[in-house]
Structure formats: structure tokens, C-alpha cells
Amino acid sequence: MKLYPVHTFGFKSARHALKILSAILAFSFTLISCEKEETQETQTSIDVNDPEIFHRSMKKLTDIIVHDIFSPPVASRIYSYPSIAAYEIMVQKNPEFRSLQNQLTDLKDVPLADKNLEYCYPLAAINAFLMTGKTMIFSEDKMESYQQEIYNDFKNSGISQEVYDRSMAYGEQVAKHIIKWSGSDNYKQTRTFPKFTVTEETGRWKPTPPDYMEGIEPHWSKIRPFVLDSANQFVPARPSAFSLDKNSDFYKEVMEVYETVNNLDEEQHSIAKFWDCNPYVSNHRGHAMFAIKKITPGGHWIGITSIAGKQAKLDFMETVESYTLVSVSLMDAFISCWDEKYRSNLIRPETVINEYIDEDWLPLLQTPPFPEYTSGHSVISSAAAVALTNLIGDNFSYIDSTETEYGLPPRNYTSFIQASEEAAISRLYGGIHYMPAIKNGVAQGRKIGGFIQNKLHTRNNQLAEKNQ
């Protein structure tokens, strides 16, 4: 190593150099110390009863669902069980609320908290929520990273180690119970069932471009519903019979889709894009292909639940209640809708128009990979809107910013029903549904939503009113 005299660097002597170096080091340590003090001063302790903690955790679950590209029906299941787990814990602290055991199919003997001991119920609820959700996703590392973050927040909130440990243990106990219950809903069995068989029968559904994907979740009707008596409890009116007769109802419905898409105005175009909610949109450019991952339709309504809950200033218990009722409604609505989809097995507009009317025609939105009737958006949006209306009220104006992170501007609504009706008609504007699938889908979803709200009681006063 070559050594240089100190005067080479502008120092008068070795002592002078040492003095300057000491000053620099002292200043550096001061900066580090200040940074530590500033961090400690700005680090604020969370309020364990702040519902934002649950909103934040639900958003993390949504982000992972988007990342892992779960189909809309499967996503509804992922939202439901964790929400129920959290609800069953929070109800222990809130005597005016009722447990869902013996109300949801096969849910029994949920572990109870020891009334003689102290718990941080929000912590237990969050732990149960995240533990249950983690068993249903692929990206466990993303969930584990978030768990460490949120648990540290609770540790820094001022609760004792004893209460922290006890609350975590109780959350885990309930999570294990809910996970075991979820394992009996036939989901795992349907993973091994045969794929949907496409036939050449005229008027039946077949895969559509650009990816010609096979039918998604053809056996979803075999999943156990939460509240519905069966998947086929609310079978909608029959779709119009396939016909190329220009005077037939079906042909007129096809032409309505064709002409609507060809003459969209700016507002209709915006509505279709806003409610697309396709979790996997593929784009082809020559030999290259790339995909855009987005929120599912159920995830959009979970986002609306968050927006509405914050605006209505729901507390922690009410927030968990709202997510639970909406997710349960979404799950049962998907089961009912998918039961009809693979029963009627109706051909999509894109296929009919390309084969018989205009081979170059394209819908505005990418056609989803499953049969046409009924419209999933129409069914599940209507069921979710009924749930939110019963919880928060009608004539509830809000700004839906759920899609802003996907590049779409927010939209204004005066009620949840109005939003659900717009979600339904967006499928005509997008060119992927005929009107009967939309109208009858709305009717189907409202029947499902109404049935759930009448049968499922989260408040003790609801049961009292019913018995009067």
C-alpha cells in the first residue's frame, strides 16, 4: 500500500488531520443520533380499536389475490372465510352482535374466549383473519411479511406481553377451527374433478380469443353455500333459445350487443372499462404476449365496502360485520350464478357475431372464459348491494375510487343499488353479455341478497324484531 504525506490532502500536520477527522466523526454520530431520535419521535403507536387496521389487512389480502390471479369465484371464497374468522372473535367482545355459528352451514362449536381473562380482541381477530387467509393463497411470503409488520404495530401499542400472547393464541385457535370448517366445503375435491367438455352443439359455449381458455370452475355449484339451501335455489328464467332467424328474440339480442358496441358514447365506454374487473387480461402484439392483472368483481365490491365503511365511520366491529356480510353474499351469489352458467351453457356474443355476422368484430372488453348466462357481474353486484344497503342504508352517496390504482378515474354514485345496476349494464357496453343475462342476473342477485339478509342475523335486535 502506498503512503502519502498528510500535506498532500491539505492538512498542515498529522495532528491537524486527526483533529479534523475527529470533528467529522463527531458530527456524523450527531446526525445518526438525531435520525434515531427523530424516528422515535415520529413513530406513533396504533390504536388497537381503529378499524383502519382491518381495512389495511383486507387491502393486503386483495393485493395478494390480484398478484396470484385467482378467478372471481375462488376470490370470493378467499374473502369469506378469513372475514368470518375475524367476526367470530369480535362478537365475543360485542354482546349486541350474534355469532354466525348454526347460521352458516355446518359452522358449529367456534372456540370461545375465557371471559375471566383479558384479550386484545382486534389483535386476535387480525391474527385469525391473516392465518386463515394465508392458507388460501399462493404467495405466503407476502402474507408473512405483512403479518410481521402488523404484529409489530400491536406490540408497540402498549398492550402487555401476556395479553399479546393470549390474544395471538386465541386468534390461532379460532383460525384453525375456521380452516378445518372450510376444508369440508368441497373446494379441494373440485380441484380434481374433470375439466369442462366443450361440444360442437350449436348455441353452446366455446372458448374465445385471444387465449381460448378452458371453462373456469365448471364445478363451482358443488361448493357448499353459506346461507343458500342449495346452488339451484334461485334458478333464473330460461335464456332465449339460440336462433339465427332475424325475427327471433335471440337474434335481436345478438344484434343489440353488436350495435351497442359499435355505437358506444364516451360515458358508456367509461362505464364498461370501470367495471371490467377481469383478473387476467392478455394482450397480444405480434408474437409477443403480456398480461395485465386487475381486481376481481368481488374484489371491487370489497373495495366499495371499505370506502363506505370509512365514510359511514363504522367502528371495528361494524367494519368486520360489513366485510363478512358482503363476502358471504358474494360467495353464495357466485355459487348460484355458476350453477346456471354451466346449466344453460350459452354461447357468447363474440362467438355468434364472428361466426355468423361480422368476422372482424371485437367486443370492447375481453370475453371471460365461461358460459354467458347469467351475468356474473349482475348477480354478485346485486347481492352485494343488497347487503350494503341493509347495513348502511339507501341513498348513500359515495365516490368509488377502487379502480384508480389500475388507471381508471373514480365514479360517483348515490346508492349501492345504482352502482350495482351500472355494473350490470356495463356488460352490454363491453360486448360480452346479452340483455336477458343482465336483467335476469340482477333479479337473481337481488333474490339471493334478500334471502341472505332475511336469514342471517348479525345483531340480537334483528332476531327480536323477527320474533315479534
209, 174: one domain: no
Using alpha carbons only, what angle is made at residue 133 by residues 132 and 138, rounded to the nearest 5 degrees?
A: 125
Look at the chain and count its residues: 468
169, 232: one domain: no
Helix, strand, coil share of the chain (percent; to 5): 55, 5, 40
Percentage of residues in the chain with pLDDT exceeding 70?
89
Query: 160 lies in a domain?
Result: yes
450, 324: one domain: yes
Question: CA 247, CA 323: separation in Å to the nearest integer?
Answer: 46
Q: Are 72 and 50 in contact (CB under 8 A)?
A: no
**78-81 CB contacts, 8 Å cutoff, 24+ apart:** 78/133, 78/136, 78/137, 79/298, 79/299, 79/302, 79/323, 79/327, 79/330, 79/331, 80/226, 80/324, 80/327, 80/328, 80/330, 80/331, 81/132, 81/133, 81/136, 81/178, 81/179, 81/181, 81/182
Q: What is the dihedral of CA 153, 154, 156, 157, to 10 degrees?
A: 120
Asked whether residue 3 carries a pLDDT value surpassing 50, the answer given is no
pLDDT on residue 420? 98
Boundary residue ending a domain (187, 218, 245): 187
- Residue 169 three-state SS: helix
Question: CA 456, CA 80: separation in Å to the nearest integer?
Answer: 14
User: Which residues span the domain enclosing 179?
Assistant: 52-187
Element (H, E) at 281: strand 280-285
228, 305: one domain: yes
Q: How distant is the alpha carbon of residue 202 from its chain centre?
A: 36
* pLDDT-based confidence at residue 324 (cuts at 50, 70, 90): very high
Question: CA 424, CA 441: separation in Å to the nearest integer?
Answer: 8
Mean pLDDT of 52-67: 98
220, 155: one domain: no
Cis peptide before 374 (omega within 30 of 0): yes
132, 240: one domain: no
Boundary residue ending a domain (157, 187, 217): 187
Query: 414 lies in a domain?
Result: yes
Query: 263 lies in a domain?
Result: yes
Instruction: Return the C-alpha cell found at 331.
Output: 360467495
Nearest to 293 by CA among 373, 184, 405: 405
Query: 232 lies in a domain?
Result: yes
319, 370: one domain: yes
210, 170: one domain: no
143, 243: one domain: no
Q: What is the pLDDT of residues 352-383, one digit of tens each?
A: 999 999 999 999 999 999 999 999 999 999 99
125, 211: one domain: no
Instruction: Write the CATH number for 292.
Output: 1.10.606.20
* pLDDT-based confidence at residue 44 (cuts at 50, 70, 90): low
pLDDT on residue 463? 60
Question: CA 48, CA 28: separation in Å to the nearest integer?
Answer: 37
Query: 44 lies in a domain?
Result: no
Burial class (CB in 10 A: 0-12, 13-18, 19+), 377: buried
Domain count across the chain = 2
Boundary residue ending a domain (187, 215, 234): 187
Question: CA 146, CA 295: separation in Å to the nearest integer?
Answer: 20
Amino acid at 149: E
Q: What is the pLDDT of residues 8-34, one digit of tens each?
A: 434 444 455 444 444 444 444 333 333
455, 351: one domain: yes
Query: 47 lies in a domain?
Result: no
- Residue 459 three-state SS: strand
Query: 367 lies in a domain?
Result: yes
pLDDT on residue 290? 74
Query: 198 lies in a domain?
Result: no
141, 253: one domain: no
* pLDDT-based confidence at residue 39 (cuts at 50, 70, 90): very low
Mean pLDDT of 279-286: 80
